[in-house]
């Protein structure tokens, strides 16, 4: 309308209408994409300074509110519904599917933790889902038959919206022992698959294309750069890296979003779609807090949650210990109080020279001071067995340098470790050198062989996380499983120790120069 103000004053209304009709008109339709990722069984609300935050009751209330108030709403979940709570683990994900059925997502893609209970169980769980689960990656290696539908076309208000599901390569960690199951292992392969699917639907007038991914924020950017703009991908809704954002990133014409982790917030993407050009005309995005000020409650959901919780409380409500104070684990790529405690307990139980405790297996940022069995299970939901492996000092140094590679500090979602007591490491990011690497104040010797305790997940994926093969380490001395349950060791130790404390001791120091 600003341009019309510049027209000569003597223009008649009739001539203005004629001019407006001669201009090309956009055919715009509004689409609201609500999205979650990495919910990890975060079903219960929390009282934070007198305000109730998160939980699936208010999440469901907000989704229902949007569906009532807006015409074209689609709710998407970008992987990792499972793991993180006793309600999920006690029922092996079936409780999660019940809850998700009540949330009624329009489409869900798989995350790496959807495979935690086994692929056969996942295929069973899919049959219990009243919503579509898509994934273009997983296939049977003998005949390349996919295990899930690779994509979904949703028709809404005359628009056709294409969703394609892409899973992280980390799923290989859960399926490595199953030679019949394969997946794409590179972003380049994923980009080719996206292009193939998009090309096969060019005959259909697709108005909007969304990639539901679970490969992490940085990998989403790589994927966007690799996709040919002619494919028509508009948005990547991602997960896996638990990334909180203030606004979408725009890469190669594709908007990339993610909604952190848990149920404390939900992503909301309001988009005006130009259905003539099959493109985004305008948009707004926000991370909506799931709290009492934004979200009504879903009483039916609360009834289901209470029923499940009453069953788990009987088993998981027993007292284990009281710590001296609350311990923290604020980030995986640094030494933490919880990490030190867990590594030290494992060291005492396993009797190895060193324990390297997977930082990513610690799922909560706070622990204690009062510790119930439920708190332990939610802190360490992946009850791995433990292996004793034998590394030379040179191999251990090689592994620690790789673990501290540049991409770790650039936001990539990589494995990191907590060391047991006695270890001291000083790594210089600028020079990529270990300035100190010692055990009990003695330098780690290149030729000496050390026994290292690691969780079975990391043993199964040794080459990916340490850049060492099983053959290489077995040449020092054959590895063996030394415990079938790490949680049993920790539960037993904590039960017999009260008012335990742990502090940052300088076991892991990373310098910038």
DSSP character at residue 248: -
Give CA–CA dist 416/101, Å, rounded: 35
308, 339, 360 - which closes a domain: 308
Residues 373 and 271 in one domain: no
The pLDDT value recorded for residue 169 is 63
Q: Is 417 exposed, middle or buried (0-12, 13-18, 19+ CB in 10 A)?
A: buried
Look at residue 18 in the predicted model and tell me its pLDDT: 40
Name the token pair of 57.
Answer: 């009751």
Can you tell me the distance from the alpha carbon of 137 to that of 139, in angstroms, rounded to the nearest whole number?
6
Report yes or no: 236 and 254 within 8 Å, Cβ to Cβ: yes
Whether residue 14 lies inside any domain: the answer is no
Residues 326 and 288 both lie in one domain: no
Q: Which residue has the tokens 């297996």?
A: 361
| Beta strand spans in 295-372 (E) | 319-322, 327-328, 354-358, 366-367, 370-372
Considering the domain architecture, whether residues 294 and 388 belong to the same structural domain is answered as no
Q: Tell whether 236 and 289 lie within a shared domain.
A: yes
The total number of structural domains in the chain stands at: 2
- Scored b (16 or more CB within 10 A) or e, 232-267 reads bbbbbbbbbbbbebeebeebeebbbbbbbbbbbbbb
Lowest mean pLDDT among 361-365, 407-411, 447-451, 472-476: 407-411
Does residue 94 register a pLDDT over 60?
A: yes
In this structure, are 217 and 332 located in the same domain?
no
Asked if the model's pLDDT at residue 175 lies above 70, the reply is no
Supply the pLDDT for residue 358: 97
Q: Does residue 424 sit in helix, strand or coil?
A: strand
CATH number at residue 455: 3.90.780.10
CA dihedral 173, 175, 178, 180 (to 10 degrees): -120
Name 53's bridge partners: 46, 291
pLDDT of residue 20: 38
pLDDT of 459 higher than 50: yes
In a domain, 221, yes or no: yes
Where residue 119 falls among pLDDT bands split at 50, 70, 90? confident
pLDDT at 5 over 70: no
Cβ atoms of 366 and 328 closer than 8 Å: yes
Contact 123, 147 (CB under 8 A): yes
- Please state, in angstroms and rounded to a whole number, the distance separating the CA atoms of residues 86 and 92: 9
| Residue 223 is assigned to a structural domain of this protein | yes
- For 209-233, the pLDDT digits (tens) are 999 999 999 999 999 999 999 999 9
End of a domain among 275, 308, 341?
308
Yes or no: say if 58 and 290 are a contact pair by the CB < 8 Å rule: yes
153 and 276 together in one domain: yes
Of the ranges 144-158, 173-187, 191-205, 298-312, the best mean pLDDT one: 298-312
Of 308, 330, 351, the one marking the end of a domain is 308
Say if residue 19's pLDDT is above 50: no
Predicted structure pTM score: 0.77
Range in 42-56, 339-353, 438-452, 471-485 with the lowest mean pLDDT: 42-56
Mean of pLDDT values over 452-458: 96
- On whether both 345 and 478 belong to a single domain, the answer is yes
Q: Is there a domain that residue 6 lies in? A: no
Tens digits of residue pLDDT in 403-421: 999 988 887 778 999 999 9
DSSP bridge pairs for 312 = none
- 37 and 76 together in one domain: yes
CA torsion 152→156→161→166, rounded to 10°?
Answer: -40
Partners of residue 292 on adjacent β-strands? none
Q: What is the domain range of residue 489?
A: 317-511
Reply yes or no on whether the pLDDT at 180 is more than 80.
no
Give the span between the Cα atoms of 104 and 87, in whole angstroms. Answer: 19
Give the pLDDT mean for 428-445. Answer: 96
pLDDT surpasses 50 at 235: yes
Q: What pLDDT is recorded for position 114?
A: 87
> Is 369 exposed, middle or buried (CB count within 10 Å of its CB: 0-12, 13-18, 19+)?
middle
Distance between CA 268 and CA 279 in Å, rounded? Answer: 18
- Four-residue CA torsion sign, 341, 346, 348, 353: negative
For 363-511, strand residue ranges (E) read: 366-367, 370-372, 386-392, 417-419, 423-428, 433-439, 442-443, 449-455, 480-483, 508-511
Tokens of 61: 């209330």
Residue 2 covered by a domain: no
* 441: DSSP letter: T
Average pLDDT in the chain: 89
Q: What band does 12 get if pLDDT is binned at 50, 70 and 90?
A: very low
CA distances (Å), origin 335, targets 330, 416, 421: 9, 10, 11
The pLDDT assigned to 173 comes to: 53
CB 254 within 8 A of CB 283: no
pLDDT tens digits along 376-388? 999 999 888 999 9
Least trusted range by pLDDT, from 75-89, 157-171, 432-446: 157-171
- The kind and range of the H/E element at 51 are strand 51-53
Q: Is the peptide bond before 207 cis (omega within 30 degrees of 0)?
A: no
Q: What is the mean pLDDT of residues 495-501?
A: 97
Residue 194: per-residue pLDDT: 92
Please state which of the ranges 124-133, 144-153, 241-250 shows the lowest mean pLDDT. 144-153
My answer on whether 71 and 191 are in the same domain is yes
Question: According to the model, what pLDDT value does residue 168 have?
Answer: 64
In-domain check, residue 239: yes
Give whole-number Cα distances, 306 to 63, 92, 264, in Å: 20, 18, 19
Which is more confident, 250 or 294? 250
Position 14 pLDDT exceeds 70 = no
Same domain, 393 and 303: no
Find, among 266, 163, 264, 170, the residue nearest to 219 by Cα.
Answer: 170
Instruction: Report the percent of the chain where pLDDT is more than 70.
Output: 91
Question: Of 104 and 202, which is predicted with more confidence?
Answer: 104
* Predicted local distance difference test score (pLDDT) of residue 84: 78
- Residue 412 has a pLDDT of 75
| 321 in the same domain as 295 | no
User: Is 171 part of a structural domain of the chain?
Assistant: yes
Domain membership flag for residue 8: no
Distance between CA atoms of residues 313 and 374, nearest Å = 8
Domain shared by 325 and 411, yes or no: yes
Express each pLDDT in 340-389 by its tens digit. 999 999 999 999 999 999 999 999 999 999 999 999 999 999 888 999 99
Q: What CATH number has the domain bearing residue 281?
A: 3.60.21.10
């Amino acid at each position: 309308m600003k341009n019309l103000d510049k027209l000569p004053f003597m223009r008649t209304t009739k001539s203005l209408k004629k001019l407006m009709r001669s201009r090309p008109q956009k055919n715009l339709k509004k689409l609201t994409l609500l999205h979650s990722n990495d919910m990890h069984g975060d079903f219960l609300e929390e009282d934070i300074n007198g305000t109730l935050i998160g939980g699936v009751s208010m999440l469901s209330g907000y989704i229902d509110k949007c569906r009532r108030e807006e015409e074209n709403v689609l709710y998407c979940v970008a992987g990792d519904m499972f793991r993180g709570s006793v309600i999920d683990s006690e029922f092996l994900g079936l409780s999660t599917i019940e809850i998700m059925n009540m949330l009624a997502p329009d489409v869900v893609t798989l995350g790496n933790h959807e495979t935690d209970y086994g692929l056969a169980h996942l295929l069973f769980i899919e049959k219990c889902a009243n919503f579509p689960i898509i994934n273009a990656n997983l296939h049977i290696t003998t005949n390349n038959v996919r295990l899930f539908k690779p994509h979904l076309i949703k028709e809404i208000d005359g628009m056709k919206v294409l969703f394609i599901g892409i899973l992280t390569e980390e799923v290989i960690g859960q399926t490595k022992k199953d030679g019949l199951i394969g997946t794409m292992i590179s972003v380049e392969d994923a980009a080719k698959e996206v292009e193939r699917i998009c090309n096969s639907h060019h005959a259909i007038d697709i108005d909007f294309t969304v990639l539901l991914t679970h490969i992490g924020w940085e990998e989403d950017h790589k994927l966007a750069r690799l996709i040919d703009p002619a494919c028509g991908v508009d948005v990547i809704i991602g997960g896996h890296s638990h990334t909180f954002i203030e606004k979408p990133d725009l890469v190669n014409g594709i908007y990339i979003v993610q909604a952190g982790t848990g149920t404390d917030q939900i992503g909301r993407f309001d988009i005006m779609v130009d259905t003539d050009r099959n493109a985004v005309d305008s948009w707004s995005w926000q991370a909506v807090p799931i709290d009492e000020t934004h979200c009504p409650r879903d009483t039916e959901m609360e009834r289901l949650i209470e029923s499940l919780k009453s069953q788990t409380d009987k088993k998981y409500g027993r007292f284990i210990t009281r710590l001296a104070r609350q311990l923290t684990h604020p980030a995986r790529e640094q030494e933490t109080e919880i990490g030190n405690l867990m590594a030290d307990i494992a060291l005492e139980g396993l009797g190895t020279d060193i324990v390297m405790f997977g930082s990513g297996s610690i799922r909560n940022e706070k622990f204690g001071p009062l510790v119930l069995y439920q708190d332990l299970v939610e802190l360490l939901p992946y009850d791995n067995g433990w292996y004793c492996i034998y590394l030379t000092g040179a191999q251990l140094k090689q592994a620690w340098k790789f673990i501290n590679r540049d991409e770790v500090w650039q936001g990539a979602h990589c494995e990191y470790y907590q060391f047991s007591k006695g270890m001291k490491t000083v790594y210089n990011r600028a020079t990529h050198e270990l300035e100190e690497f010692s055990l009990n104040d003695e330098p780690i010797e290149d030729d000496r062989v050390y026994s290292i305790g690691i969780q079975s997940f990391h043993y199964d994926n040794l080459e990916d996380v340490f850049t060492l093969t099983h053959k290489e380490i077995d040449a020092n001395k054959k590895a063996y499983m030394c415990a079938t349950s790490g949680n049993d060791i920790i539960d037993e130790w904590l039960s017999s120790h009260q008012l335990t404390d742990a502090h940052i001791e300088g076991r892991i120091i990373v310098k910038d120069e």
